[in-house]
Structure 1
Amino acid sequence: MPNSPYSAAQAARHALGQRLKEIRKSNGMTARAFAARAGWSESKASRIENGKTFPADADLRAYAELCGAPEAYPDLLAAAHGIEGMYVEWRRLQRDGMRHAQQAHVSLYERTEHFRIYEPSVIPGILQTRNYARAIMGTISAFRHLPDDVDAAVDVRMRRQHILRDAGRRFGIILEEAALRARFGNSDVMAAQLGHLLTVTSRQQVSLGIVPFTVNRRMWPLEGFWIFGNEQVLIELATAQVTVKQPSEIETYERMFSELVSIARYGKHARALIAEAIHALG
């Protein structure tokens, strides 16, 4: 992953240009012939294909239709629209503290009916207790030297959890066993958090799976990611939040989630793993 929003966007622009070049070449057209058909100068096609000029929606449609690949247009459009906001450093997103970043996703949560969530090392925010959320947000805030608005950010996170009570939504959640064992707050905070997980598993709209340490893996541990319906995927890295909106990339995350589902433990087996983690607190 490039180390700045600028370099990430530049790399994505270049990749999009190369993809357009491949679409043109697969149709057997030279850049000059394509430009003539599109009514462009040859230099415009060259600038777009080399990532120096960002294509407009009409330019993308021209590549798709004139090169005999109209089915590629929706994917090209989604890729282009997602590039500018695809990689946002936490220091930009959280420059005024953590509350703003929490509030920014409220509308996305409200309009999503199907959530698929994977977390390798922490309990996801939608399942967190107030004290656990305060402990983990406090740790992040201190490490990143953010303005101290942890309590306000926790309030936003707690309010967002009302969607869990909506029987019309579906939540597929997979945790690595490590997420049950990583301690944030004292033993009482962790015991309450793990007890809350046991309560959540009884809700019909929530499917909670745990991937045990000892499982024979068919999918390697990944960065945490959230799939919001078929609209987008959010991935949290150490330095940035990545947004994926390209349908083909969303499909890849859906496939990875399905593989994780196949190795996770559910029902009484998941509850047993949670109970073991509670017992280990002493």
Structure 2
Amino acid sequence: MVQWLKEDINMSQRKRFSFDDEVDDTIDLSKDDLKNSSITNNDKPSNDNVFADEDGLDAKAYPTDNGGDKSMKNKKKRKFKIKKWQIALIAFLSIIIVFVIYVFVAGGNDGPVYGDRCASLIAIDKSKFTGVEDAIKADPSVNSINIEVDCRIVKISMNFVDNTSSDTAKQLATNALHTLDDTLGENKEEGRAYSNLFTTANGRGQYNVEFVLTSNGDTNFPIFGTKHPNSDDITFTGANVVDQAATDRAANTNANQ
């Protein structure tokens, strides 16, 4: 009986000691877990301070309150706003560019823009002018001749040797126009003295002709002549007519030849 009681006491003490150890181990384990948990939580950044960028890297977060959003939107609006004077300047420059392009396209390389005045005209082969001038200068009374085209006007400037009479000059000028007309080779209607170049075609009059004749002959020089498409006649006018601009042009032509 006594022996049994001793064994029972020993078992009770053993259980008590074992329980105390287990409690201590549990307490120690709980402290370690709390410490590890605290360290882990301290290592992890707060969701309020970081976000993941497009590459998956953490970056510092920016304020997302309503005031910040409005400030960013206002900055963007101010950045892309175009002022009225800038729009006006762009429109003005565009108009200038369009006008310059129109001038070059419409005018080509033949000088000013004439619009409809040059429309429906028969084309003249200017490369034939040199041959015509050489043929006319073959006459001993002719010092020089120059032929040019300005839109719908053919201009013929002739200088004659000294003491050439005004009547001779007029006849040589008329012959020069016939030589030019024949060389260019356009169709001539029956009964007309000149081809369609110097009459009418395409429903309208074609080229007018202007003459400037100079010489140190009689007092009628310089002589000016005109021919209209509706007429086969050339009208000549002497220097006694008051036309200072035409007189100056004739004098300059003579000086340059």
Common topology (TM > 0.5): no
Whichever of the two has the greater Rg, that structure is 2
TM-score, with structure 1 as normaliser? 0.23
More helix by share: 1
